[in-house]
Amino acid sequence: MRDFELNLTPEQESKKQYEYMEKAKELVSIKEKELGRKLTFSVVTFGCQMNARDSEKLVGILTEMGYVEVEDEHADFVMYNTCTVRENADNKVWGRLGYLQSYKKKNPHMIIGLCGCMMQEPGVVEKLKKSYKHVNLIFGTHNIYKFAELVYRCLSSNKQIIDVWKENDKIVEDLPIKRKFKFKSGVNIMFGCNNFCSYCIVPYVRGREKSREPKDIIREIEGLVADGVCEVMLLGQNVNSYGKNLDNPMSFANLLREVNKIEGLKRIRFMTSHPKDLSDDLILAMKECDKVCGHMHLPLQSGSSRILKVMNRHYDKEKYLDIVRKLREAIPDIAITTDIIVGFPGETEEDFEETLNVVKEVEYDSAFTFIYSKRTGTPAATMDNQVPHDVIKDRFNRLLKVVQEISAKKAKSLEGKVVPVLVEGLNEHDDSLVTGRLENNLVVHFKGTEDMIGQIYNVKLEESKGFYFLGGIV
């Protein structure tokens, strides 16, 4: 039965889920005694930072139940948190499910679960019911807070549990989270998206925008700082529209100002920022707030105003370039990164050339470049003039070449500078080095030890290697 049918408040729902964690813990304990060992789990994340944060909630709840996390999928409970932004993400999941079927034959009590955006796609659940009967648990994006209850149902039943909702306006706070990093954390400030870009499946699978209350966000970050976190990433599909649906509306710019006041917090990042909602006040807040990193991820998608209109992006090339100008006037050293789609339906060579021109004019520090992926259910999927694959591939390679040349030039210009760097871990290839991240999100390797992880040091960028630096502590 749906929780909103029971009219539970978010606080009551949270309490109920903790009760299910205890019930599940008892069943896990019984199974452990039967097998003579601890039960293990693996949560595999596909997709964006929002999914990564959701996965930390899944990990926290399974840990609370007594499961022990392992690195690979030879586990007693395997959970896939899926993405559906591009077709390739779906294909990865279907492929992995085939492997898990053979694992389950060797470990019959294994539980396989699927959640996330892919589960909200039309036809996916029916395909799972028909062809992937070895999957035990299926739920979507709207009821992740009921994970404990769903796991308990799995443990106490041999039936396939399916609970995918079309919508939900409830935000349930205070459930267990186990962070991947001790020193940094994502923080959801809102959920869903109202933009309906014509190529994007997200509004259909994540639902309408819902903002968290500022007091809950501040309380969460204060708790994170008390637990050793020095950097937070504020997360939303479009953070610039934060707060519009609150009873007492608050702009994202003012939320940034409030977060900046938190003692002990050293760095604030955020994503994603939609150009159509980026206000002058947000630029001012970034300039004013000393903890906000000098980095703006500002998706372009296309440099052609004609294509942007068909994409339903609600800005044109001129407005985008005006935002970039304002950002650089206010924060001269700001790093600007972007997303670009190549081969959107109807894209001509002239449209593509406009994209190249914007890339050259803005000179992005880096760019995520994507080949257009047709997503069933979006307006773009049924548009005429789908661009031939060989044309798309040629344009993609030309774009990538320009992007990489500019990125290398921008990185080279930082050589010799001393910048603050957050140490994130030991270098994977040389344990005499540590790896840290600059405010602009680039990486630097330098001499250091494990006890430096989670601290910020002033580092001289001695040599650019294109996508990373070699440096030394000053």
What whole-number distance in Å separates Cα of residue 163 and Cα of residue 414?
Answer: 51
User: Does 154 show up as a binding residue in the annotation?
Assistant: no
| Largest Cα–Cα separation, the chain | 68
User: Order of strands across the sheet with 295-297?
Assistant: 295-297, 335-342, 366-371
Burial degree of 333 (CB within 10 A; 0-12, 13-18, 19+): exposed
Q: Tell which residue, 419, 430, 429, has the closest CA to residue 459.
A: 419
Q: Tell which residue, 324, 325, 333, has the closest CA to residue 420.
A: 333
Provide the b/e sequence for 251-284 (b: ≥16 CB within 10 Å).
bbbbbbbebbebeebbbbbbbbbbbebbeeebbe
Provide the b/e sequence for 127-164 (b: ≥16 CB within 10 Å).
ebeeebebbbbbbbbbbbbbbbbbbbbbbeeeeebbbb
Range list of H helices, 36-162: 49-64, 87-106, 124-131, 147-155
| φ, ψ of residue 236 in degrees (nearest 5) | -170, 155
- Quickly count: other Cβ atoms within 10 Å of residue 393's Cβ: 13
User: Does 115 show up as a binding residue in the annotation?
Assistant: no
User: Does 117 show up as a binding residue in the annotation?
Assistant: yes
User: Does 230 show up as a binding residue in the annotation?
Assistant: no
Residue partners of 62: CB distance under 8 A and separation at least 6: 41, 43, 69, 77, 79, 151
Alpha-carbon distances of 29 from 20, 40, 160, 214, rounded to whole Å: 14, 12, 22, 39
Q: Tell which residue, 69, 73, 84, 82, has the closest CA to residue 180.
A: 69
- Report which DSSP code applies to 245: T
Residue partners of 84: CB distance under 8 A and separation at least 6: 90, 116, 117, 118, 120, 121, 201, 205, 375
* Residue ranges of the binding site: 48, 83, 117, 193, 197, 200
* Residue ranges of the binding site for [4Fe-4S] cluster: 48, 83, 117, 193, 197, 200
